[in-house]
Structure 1
Amino acid sequence: MCHPAWARARTTALRLEEFTRLRRVRDRIDREYDRPLDVLELARGAGMAAGQLSRRFRTAYGDSPYDYLLTRRAERARTLLLRGTAS
């Protein structure tokens, strides 16, 4: 039987690994917001099921991956309009 501290350390390591995958998904959305992205593609890249990615992403960042993508696109459009470089 393993020591309780080992179990806690393993749980912490798994959480950090999952958060790292979620951060990579968020970074990919930030980089590729102007490309067609869907949750299935993002989940595949993170090695997670789409439903799991959506739930975990919402828990970590407060928005679903799709909502986060729409927010990034809206922010970029607002920036372009304010600069006057796009209509």
Structure 2
Amino acid sequence: MRQVRLAKDAMDRDWADPGLDLDAVAAHAGYSRFHFIRAFREAYGETPGQYLTHRRIERAEEMLRTANLSVTEICHLVGFSSLGTFSARFKAWTGLPPSEYRDKHVGRGAALIPGCYAMLWAGGFRTAPGSARRNSEEAG
């Protein structure tokens, strides 16, 4: 059970990483993927994939209510690589598409966090490997 809890902690910590997949989490726990799915479901009542999706949707809900970012930007920040998948799962979880959720939950006149701050906080400004070196070489 300790290994499953550690794997859940890893999902809680790295939920936004689009590279976080079942095989990596199962390996973190020291289980095969199929044994890990069974152990996780027994411990938490849902599969690891369902749990990770719910964590990401919860974060997306928060960003939709507070940050001045597009739905596409939020989709990628919370770890989804497909806007269609994100929108479908978001609607299944909340009952509303992301844009309608924002319209319903953001009060009139509410000040949203500027997108640049939200992106910086969420780690959305990523550079390609070697780009910092290239930029410094071009400047010098």
Normalised by the size of structure 2, how large is the TM-score? Answer: 0.47
- Could you list the structure 1 runs, at least 4 aligned residues long, displaced by more than 3 angstroms after superposition: none
Q: 2 CA distance for matches of 1:43 and 1:73?
A: 19
Distance 2:37 2:68 in 1: 34
Question: Does the alignment pair 1:65 with 2:65?
Answer: no
User: Counterpart of 1:21?
Assistant: 3
Equivalent of residue 37 in structure 1, options 14, 20, 42: 20
Aligned: 1:52 with 2:53:
no
| The structure with more helix, counted as a fraction of residues | 1
Alpha-carbon distance in structure 2 between the residues aligned to 1:75 and 1:42: 20
Larger Rg: 2
> Structure 1-normalised TM-score?
0.74
CA-atom RMSD in angstroms: 1.0
Alignment gaps of 5+ in structure 1: 1-18
- Give matches, 1:2-21, under 5 Å: 19-21=1-3
Structure number with the bigger relative contact order (C-alpha 8 A, sep ≥ 6) is 1
